[in-house]
């Protein structure tokens, strides 16, 4: 079988690496297409190297833009690749623009699609990612779910159970495979951070960074929290752009109350999550990773497509109100560290189950 894998944003790399590795052991041919949706080539290469992924066979170099511009460029540039390669299956992961663009083009070329991380729902159509998830699932032949409620979401939407495979979470495969290496990282010493004595922050969702009042309130709340413990903020390029556009970048800096640093590679960031006293984020994947690590996580959103991280994990939704942020963070700092729990099938073998299902499907 020839399997074409599409990645575009850094979290995609962690999800696709275990699948590619498992398919190689089953003698499938893998073709890796990097759309360049996250356009920092140096950091993308760092992730590829750290995860043991091959150099992409194709790099579309689409770069940044509005959702429509970016999705359209990916569709335009991936179509000739799919026509030339004629894969038996296109594998897409997650919920980014690369996911929906590759799914649409594949479906129109009558090429089957498999969606890794299918069925996740925030039930909030104001999130672009929710639209990407729903449409991709409608177009997919194989749907691989990470948690039990995802299958129920899909069935409720009319998708046959025979197409749905509960396989676990491949992002946790990558975490499990690289945790020992991460624990040997010297990033805490490099950044002069006290072990289990700092807060780690990520922000990138439009609902948090596009509005000046919302972003300013969050940053001021983080500065307040920084009077209790160091706050490290590896800033997404889009977030930095918005801070500058809103005139808010003076609130942070390497020597400021909130330490703003460049984005950090996978191994070092895994170490930072593992040894943080608290993580504050609006990311989806970080909610999952902190669940396994047992690191308290406050999610700056009103909803989550990953409710299992609240039911079984260390995650709590708090929204973006500055007062709530500071109050909830201080409550976490005053409480004992929770015991980590593993949701069903988050055991480090999701990639193998996905590969087995793909090969079995291909042999039908």
Residues whose CB is less than 8 angstroms from the CB of residue 62 and which lie 6 or more positions away in sequence, other chains included: 8, 35, 36, 37, 39, 70, 73, 74, 77
Q: How far is CA 104 from each of CA 89, 107, 110, 236, 303, rounded to the nearest angstrom? A: 13, 5, 10, 27, 27
Whether residue 25 is found in the same domain as residue 76: yes
Band of the pLDDT at 127, cuts 50, 70, 90?
very high
Task: Give domain status of residue 321, yes or no.
Answer: yes
Instruction: Indicate which CATH number applies to the domain containing 223.
Output: 3.40.50.2000
Q: Identify whether residues 280 and 354 lie together within a single domain.
A: no
Hunting for tokens 């994990």 — which residue is that? 313
- HSE (side-chain half, CA atoms, 13 Å) at 188: 20
Mean pLDDT of the chain: 95
Those residues whose C-beta lies under 8 Å from the C-beta of residue 167, and which sit 6 or more positions away, are 144, 145, 146, 345, 350, 353, 354, 357
User: Is the domain of 208 the same as that of 90?
Assistant: no
Please tell me the distance from the alpha carbon of residue 283 to that of residue 292, in angstroms, as a whole number.
15
64-119: pLDDT as tens digits: 889 999 999 999 999 999 999 999 999 999 999 999 999 999 999 999 999 999 99
Above 90 in pLDDT, residue 131? yes
Whether 340 is in a domain gets the answer no
153 and 281 housed in the same domain: no
pLDDT tens string 289-338: 999 999 999 999 999 999 999 999 999 999 999 999 999 999 999 999 98
Both 187 and 279 in a single domain?
yes
Spatial distance between the Cα atoms of 91 and 16, rounded to a whole number of angstroms? 9
Res. 238 pLDDT band, cuts 50 70 90: confident
| Prediction pTM value | 0.95
In this structure, the answer to whether residues 192 and 44 fall within a common structural domain is no
Expressed as residue numbers, the domain containing 330 is: 179-334
Domain assignment of residue 89, yes or no: yes
Residue 149: its pLDDT value, please?
96
Same domain, 204 and 321: yes
To the query of whether residue 246 is one of the catalytic residues in this protein, the response is no
Q: Tell me, yes or no, whether 122 and 232 share the same domain.
A: no
What count of residues does the chain have? Answer: 364
249 and 107 part of one domain: no
* Same domain, yes or no: 218 and 88: no
Which of 204, 236, 246, 349 is flagged as catalytic? 204
Number of domains making up the chain = 2
Q: Are 37 and 97 in contact (CB under 8 A)?
A: yes
Q: What is the sign, positive or negative, of the torsion defined by CA atoms of 95, 100, 102, 104?
A: positive
Residue 40: per-residue pLDDT: 67
């Amino acid at each position: 079988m020839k399997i074409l894998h599409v990645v575009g944003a850094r979290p995609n790399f962690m999800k696709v690496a275990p699948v590619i590795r498992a398919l190689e052991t089953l003698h499938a041919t893998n073709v890796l297409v990097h759309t360049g949706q996250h356009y920092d080539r140096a950091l993308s290469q760092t992730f590829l190297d750290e995860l043991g992924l091959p150099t992409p066979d194709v790099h579309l170099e689409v770069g940044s833009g509005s959702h429509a511009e970016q999705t359209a460029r990916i569709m335009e540039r991936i179509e000739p690749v799919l026509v030339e390669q004629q894969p038996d299956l296109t594998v897409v992961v997650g919920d980014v623009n690369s996911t929906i663009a590759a799914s649409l083009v594949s479906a129109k070329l009558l090429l089957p699609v498999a969606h890794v991380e299918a069925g996740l729902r925030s039930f909030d159509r104001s999130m672009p990612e929710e639209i990407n998830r729903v449409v991709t699932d409608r177009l997919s032949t194989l749907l691989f779910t990470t948690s039990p409620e995802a299958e129920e979401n899909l069935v409720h939407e009319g998708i046959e159970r025979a197409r749905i495979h509960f396989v676990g979470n491949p992002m946790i495969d990558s975490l499990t495979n690289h945790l020992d290496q991460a624990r040997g990282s010297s990033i805490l010493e490099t950044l002069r951070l006290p072990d289990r004595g700092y807060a780690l922050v990520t922000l990138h969702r439009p609902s948090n960074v596009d509005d000046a009042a919302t972003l300013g309130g969050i940053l001021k709340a983080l500065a307040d929290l920084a009077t209790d413990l160091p706050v490290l903020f590896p800033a997404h390029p889009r977030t930095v752009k918005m801070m500058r556009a809103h005139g808010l970048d003076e609130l942070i800096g390497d020597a400021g109350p909130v330490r703003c640093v460049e984005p950090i590679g996978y191994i070092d960031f895994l170490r930072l999550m593992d040894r943080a006293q608290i993580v504050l984020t609006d990311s989806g994947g970080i909610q999952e990773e902190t669940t396994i690590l047992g690191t308290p996580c406050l999610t700056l959103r009103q909803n989550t497509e990953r409710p299992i991280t609240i039911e079984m994990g260390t995650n709590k939704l708090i929204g973006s109100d500055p007062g709530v942020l500071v109050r909830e963070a201080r409550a976490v700092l005053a409480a004992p560290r929770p015991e980590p729990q593993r949701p069903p099938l988050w055991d480090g073998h999701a990639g193998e189950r996905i590969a087995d299902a793909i090969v079995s499907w291909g042999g039908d």
